[in-house]
Amino acid sequence: MSEQATPIVEITGLTKTYGSGAAEVTALDAVDLRVPEGQFITVMGPSGCGKSTLLNLLGGLDAPTAGAISIDGQALGELPDDRLTELRRRRIGFVFQFFNLIPVLDAVENASLPLRLDGAKDAVERATAWLERVGLGDRLHNRPDQLSGGQQQRVAIARALSTEPALVLADEPTGNLDSHSASEIGELLRQVSSDWGRSVLMVTHDPRIASFAQRLVLMRDGQIVDDVALDGSHDGPRQALERAGLL
C-alpha cells in the first residue's frame, strides 16, 4: 500500500452527530483516514453506517462536529463558504447516484459547467476532450434525455474531471444503472485513478463494482471496521464483507 505517497485526503478524529440529547445519533465516530494521490478507494457498509456522511464531509458539503479534514493540503474547517465552494470547484469532482445533469443543457454544456463557473475560456474544448476520453465523442450535443443511464453517468464523470481535480467523490455511481453499464462505469473510474492519476473515493453497495478499486474500507456504526487492499479479483470485496460479518 502506498501510504508514503502524498495524501490527498487526510482525516483525523472525524466525528459527526445529528440531533441532541436522547435523539442524538452519531453518524461518524472519530474516524481517521488517509487517501494517497491517485488511489481508487471504495467505502462499503450497511445503510446508516456513515459512509454517505463521510463523503459529504469530505466534499465540504456538510460540517463535522469534531475532527479535521484536509483535502490537497487545505484544512476544510478553516475555510469560509466561498473559499470552500472554490475548493470544491477546482480540486474536487462529484459523481452522484442520480447523475444530476441539467436537463436543459447538452453533454458538452453539462460537462463544462464547473469550468464555466470558474470562468475558464477554454471550457468547451476541455469538456469536449474529457467527453471523448470517457467515450462520448459522438454524443457531445445530446441532452440528458437522449442518453442512456450509463452515458449520462459518463457525462457526469467527464464533468467531475473537467476541472482536473485532485479528488473525485462518487456516491453510489452505479446505483441507478444496469449491471453492464455499472461495470463500464467501474472500469472508467479505475481508469480515472490509474491512467489519469486522480484519487477516487467511491461509496457503493455493489461488491462487484467495489472490486474495481485498489483499496476497500468497511464501515459499521460510524466507525471503520476494516481497511484492506484489493487485487482486482471480483470476489475480494465479498470475502472482506463476509470476514467483517457484513454480509
Footprint of another protein (CB under 8 A) = 52, 55-56, 59, 61-62, 81-82, 85-86, 88-90, 93-94, 96, 98, 100, 102-105, 109, 113-114, 116-119, 159-160, 163, 171
* Residue 100 Cβ vs another protein, minimum distance, rounded to whole Å: 4
Q: Give the cell for residue 67.
A: 475532527
* Residue 4 Cβ vs another protein, minimum distance, rounded to whole Å: 31
Cβ-based nearer residue to another protein, 12 or 85: 85
Paired with 224 in beta bridges are 219
* Residue 185 Cβ vs another protein, minimum distance, rounded to whole Å: 18
Distances, alpha carbon 17 to alpha carbons 55, 104, 111, 117, 207, in Å: 15, 38, 34, 33, 28
Cβ contact 109:97 at 8 Å: no
* Residue 68 Cβ vs another protein, minimum distance, rounded to whole Å: 20
Cβ-based nearer residue to another protein, 25 or 117: 117
Cβ-based nearer residue to another protein, 161 or 224: 161
- From the list 11, 26, 13, the residue with the least C-alpha distance to 66 is 13
Write the DSSP symbol of residue 6. Answer: P
Cβ-based nearer residue to another protein, 44 or 55: 55
For residues 119 and 220, give the distance between their C-alpha atoms in angstroms, rounded to a whole number: 42
Distances, alpha carbon 76 to alpha carbons 65, 84, 88, in Å: 13, 7, 10
Cβ-based nearer residue to another protein, 131 or 240: 131
For residues 60 and 117, give the distance between their C-alpha atoms in angstroms, rounded to a whole number: 18
What SS3 class is residue 215?
Answer: strand
Distances, alpha carbon 26 to alpha carbons 22, 70, 147, in Å: 11, 21, 40
Cβ-based nearer residue to another protein, 25 or 102: 102
* Residue 131 Cβ vs another protein, minimum distance, rounded to whole Å: 16
For residues 6 and 27, give the distance between their C-alpha atoms in angstroms, rounded to a whole number: 28
* Residue 96 Cβ vs another protein, minimum distance, rounded to whole Å: 6
